[in-house]
Amino acid sequence: MIHLQREQIIIIGAGPCGIAAAIDLKRAGFDPLIIEKRNIAHSISMYPTYMNFFSTPENLEIGDIPFTTANEKPSRLEALNYYRTAALRHELRVHAFVTVNGIKRHDGYFTLESTDRTGKQQVYECNHVIIATGYFDHPNYLGIPGEQLDKVTHFFREAHPYTGMNVAIIGGSNSAIDAALELERVGAKVTIIYRGETYSRSIKPWVRPTIEAKVNKGLIQMRFQSQVAAIDEWSVTIKQPDGNTEKLDNDFVLALTGFHPDRQFMIDAGIIITEEGFPYFNDETMETNIPGLFIAGVVASRYEANEIFIESGRFHGRKIAQYLQNQSLASK
């Protein structure tokens, strides 16, 4: 027998923006339930172990809780502690390790079908849904032979396991450059394969001189205007700018090519996706084309998603809370 649970507002996703939305809704007199398929702030827990944010702590704050750190930029560990504390201090209701499989719209309400980590199914019924699912579960795959091998990963946690190994890094963003520098420090033999003509303009200005110096000294190999054409157990094949191919000895591949929101989940829920590939929503209320269905956080980004999006996405819940509060007052 499938259990039915009735709620007024359900937020899908317990990342920073989902937590912020829940706090704003509680302050507006609501008691939302957050459903999270993994743990609170899961995406941050998947960041590199020793990563520091680009943003200053005050730009990551939610719920009027000060984000204190002794450093100029907060670390991954500090962020995990901060967002966990925010959820606990505001006594947010979170159903963790529960996956929402789909959203069905009915006349004036929604049903959400879910499965927990044991396979148990449950149906939630609610008046309003906020999708705040982030993007970190959906890497941008390359679609090349060998990408499915165990030696390939789209996530970088820490450098130590790669000591002495031949490692190819695909990509030229901050995450790729930071990983390359960490790997070189532990004795890995690193080759960066990047399709751009030169270093990405998004690289942190204080990091670029370091990576350039390492490449100029031959400590890190750089292949510009190049793409990985195939991966096998002991090598990678690179397509060079002139059309020729180069085969490199290789033990591991870090395909750090970015991530994207789960647009299919939104499409299945009935949300219109524009020609540019972004979900349709009202900028003032965050409501989609479906009345009562909202989006918050990085899923609402019309540009490339990255960590800094917390800075603006943390305010989406405030817009939703104000809109629903006005609706509630108007109906009385």
Here the CATH number for the domain that contains residue 227 is 3.50.50.60
Q: How far apart are CA 101 and CA 96, in angstroms?
A: 14
Quick check: is 77 in a domain? Answer: yes
Nearest Cα to Cα of residue 317 among 13, 5, 101 = 13
Region 109-121: mean pLDDT is 94
Q: Verify that 131 and 274 share a domain, yes or no.
A: yes
Helix 316-330 crosses helix 16-27 at what angle (to 10 degrees)?
A: 30
- Say yes or no to pLDDT of 49 above 90: no
**CA 235, 177, 312, 284 torsion: positive or negative?**
negative
End-to-end C-alpha distance for the chain, whole angstroms: 37
Residue 45: domain span:
3-138+259-330
Q: Verify that 170 and 270 share a domain, yes or no.
A: no
User: Comparing 161-170, 234-243, 259-268, 301-310, which segment has the lowest mean pLDDT?
Assistant: 301-310
Q: Verify that 21 and 117 share a domain, yes or no.
A: yes
Instruction: Please count the structural domains in the chain.
Output: 2
Confidence of residue 103 (pLDDT cuts 50, 70, 90): very high
- Looking at residue 308, its pLDDT comes to 37
Q: Verify that 90 and 191 share a domain, yes or no.
A: no
Judge whether 69 and 75 are in contact, CB under 8 Å. Answer: yes
Q: Verify that 23 and 117 share a domain, yes or no.
A: yes
Q: Verify that 125 and 269 share a domain, yes or no.
A: yes
Local structure of 110: helix, strand or coil:
strand
Local structure of 27: helix, strand or coil:
helix
- Looking at residue 263, its pLDDT comes to 84
Q: How far apart are CA 140 and CA 180, in angstroms?
A: 19
User: Comparing 37-51, 142-156, 211-225, which segment has the lowest mean pLDDT?
Assistant: 37-51
* Listed residues 226, 255, 284: the one ending a domain: 255
Confidence of residue 332 (pLDDT cuts 50, 70, 90): low
Q: Verify that 21 and 115 share a domain, yes or no.
A: yes
Q: Verify that 126 and 265 share a domain, yes or no.
A: yes
- Percent of the chain exceeding pLDDT 90 equals 68
Q: What is the pLDDT of residues 119-162, one digit of tens each?
A: 999 999 999 999 999 777 788 889 999 999 999 999 999 999 99
Judge whether 13 and 261 are in contact, CB under 8 Å. Answer: no
- For the entire predicted model, the pTM comes to 0.86
Q: Verify that 93 and 156 share a domain, yes or no.
A: no
Starting at the edge strand found earlier in the chain, the sheet holding 166-170 runs 152-153, 252-255, 166-170, 189-193, 220-223
* Listed residues 201, 226, 255: the one ending a domain: 255
Quick check: is 145 in a domain? Answer: no
Residue 329, exposed/middle/buried by CB under 10 A (0-12, 13-18, 19+)? Answer: exposed
Q: Verify that 164 and 245 share a domain, yes or no.
A: yes
Q: Verify that 263 and 248 share a domain, yes or no.
A: no
* Listed residues 236, 255, 274: the one ending a domain: 255
